[in-house]
Amino acid sequence: DAGVTQSPTHLIKTRGQQVTLRCSPKSGHDTVSWYQQALGQGPQFIFQYYEEEERQRGNFPDRFSGHQFPNYSSELNVNALLLGDSALYLCASSLAGRAKRETQYFGPGTRLLVL
Amino acid sequence: GEDVEQSLFLSVREGDSSVINCTYTDSSSTYLYWYKQEPGAGLQLLTYIFSNMDMKQDQRLTVLLNKKDKHLSLRIADTQTGDSAIYFCADSHTGTASKLTFGTGTRLQVTL
């Protein structure tokens, strides 16, 4: 049973560039959430996708956008990168709508460094 | 807004019990989770507790919840060096979009 996978594992970009991160959910899951974890901090919720729609969003600017595909995989896009966007980006998947408890399982993350 | 707080660091000797504490502010939290993060890795779900429970035991792990004081703890019995990691508590709410709100994490160091 494949767990949550993310690509790439590491990425280096320069200020002003754009980046796309990818996530494949755990088998059988239909919901994907994205979190940003700055160094020494806990993860911060960016947004969540279900049925190809963004259904909740955290306190992040519009430079952060996402997409969910019919196979439930997801992308996180960040435009106009800032130095402060350097972080570990975590994807979590869960199963919605059929259980009260939407336990989220995390992938290994993508470490983004903005220079 | 919601807030989850944890102490930053805990050091214990191998074989002793570890107790990691967490406080949260949102009284509508329905599920509370403990995740473990090893260096350079993602988050591993350890256990969770529903808000109408006081205690949950899962092998070496015991979760205690004091809903009145909004206090959550994770006890690890017979702590091993492999338990050295950062431990995060997180809360969520039932509904159509169950985002997690995390604490800042407690670094557990296990010494010989």
DSSP secondary structure letter of residue A104: -
Q: Between chains, do A103 and B99 touch, taking CB under 8 Å as contact?
A: no
Q: Chain A within 8 Å of B102 (Cβ-Cβ)? A: yes
| Closest by CA position to B29, among listed B96, B82, B79, B100 | B100
pLDDT of residue B29: 76
pLDDT at A7 over 60: yes
pLDDT at A107 over 70: yes
Q: Chain A within 8 Å of B84 (Cβ-Cβ)? A: no
Closest partner residue to A55 among B31, B50, B97, by Cβ? B97
pLDDT of residue A44: 96
Which chain B residues have a beta carbon less than 8 Å from that of A102? Answer: 92, 98
Q: Between chains, do B41 and A109 touch, taking CB under 8 Å as contact?
A: yes
What gap in Å lies between CA A27 and CA A2, rounded to an integer?
6
On whether the CB atoms of residues A114 and A13 are closer than 8 A, the answer is yes
Q: Between chains, do B100 and A33 touch, taking CB under 8 Å as contact?
A: yes
B14-45 pLDDT, tens digit each: 999 999 999 998 877 788 999 999 988 889 99
pLDDT of residue B22: 95
Q: What does residue A36 show for φ and ψ, rounded to 5 degrees?
A: -110, 130
Query: DSSP string spanning A8-72?
Result: -SEEEE-TT--EEEEEEPPTT--EEEEEEE-TTS--EEEEEEETTEEEEE-S--TTEEEEE-TTS
Measured CB to CB, residues of chain A less than 8 Å from chain B are: 4, 33, 35, 40-45, 48, 50, 55-56, 58, 90, 92, 94, 96, 100-109
On whether the CB atoms of residues B36 and B86 are closer than 8 A, the answer is yes
Query: Is B52 buried (19+), middle (13-18) or exposed (0-12) by CB count in 10 A?
Result: exposed
Closest partner residue to A102 among B90, B98, B102, by Cβ? B98
* CA dihedral angle for residue A69, residue A72, residue A78, residue A79, rounded to 10 degrees: 10
Q: Count other C-beta atoms under 10 Å from residue A84's C-beta.
A: 8
pLDDT of residue B94: 62
pLDDT of residue B56: 95
Q: Between chains, do A43 and B102 touch, taking CB under 8 Å as contact?
A: yes
Which residues in chain B show pLDDT less than 70?
1, 94-97
| Closest by CA position to A3, among listed A28, A40, A21, A39 | A28
| Mean pLDDT score, A65-94 | 97
**In which band, very low, low, confident or very high, does the pLDDT at A103 lie, cut at 50, 70 and 90?**
confident
A17-76 pLDDT, tens digit each: 999 999 999 998 999 999 999 999 999 999 999 999 998 899 999 999 999 999 999 999
* CA dihedral angle for residue B63, residue B4, residue B35, residue B101, rounded to 10 degrees: 130
